[in-house]
Amino acid sequence: MKDKLHPKYYDDAQVVCACGNTFTTGSTKKLLKVELCSKCHPFFTGERRLVDTGGRVERFKRRYKVKD
């Protein structure tokens, strides 16, 4: 087996959500920034809303726009 093949694993990696929620998990990165977490995701909150990440909905509408 090769030495120094695997990245360093952090047991205390900090996760920061866009909603302001933070929690600790294990990861190969020390700090993770996410857009959705279990506190704000529609599946876990029971909310019915559309989650648009990076303008995907607008891009979809533009791509499949019906031309008159």
Q: What's the CATH number where 15 sits?
A: 4.10.80.400
**What does the block give as tokens for 41?**
């995701």
Report if residue 1 sits inside a domain: no
Q: What pLDDT sits at residue 49?
A: 66
pTM of the full predicted structure? Answer: 0.58
pLDDT tens digit string along 5-47?
889 999 999 999 988 899 999 999 999 998 888 888 766 677 7
Number of structural domains found in the chain: 1
Reported as type and span, the H/E element at residue 64 is none
Please determine, for residue 60, whether its predicted confidence score (pLDDT) is greater than 90: no
Residue 54 lies in a domain: yes
Q: Is there a domain that residue 23 lies in?
A: yes
Q: Is residue 5 part of a domain?
A: no
Tell me the pairing of strands 31-34 and 10-17. Answer: parallel
Distance of CA 13 to the CA centre of its chain: 15
Nearest to 14 by CA among 32, 35, 39, 28: 32
**Structural domain harbouring 50:** 10-63
Element (H, E) at 42: helix 42-45
Q: State the pLDDT confidence band at 68, using cuts at 50, 70 and 90.
A: very low
Dihedral of CA atoms 36, 38, 40, 46 in degrees, nearest 10, equals 130
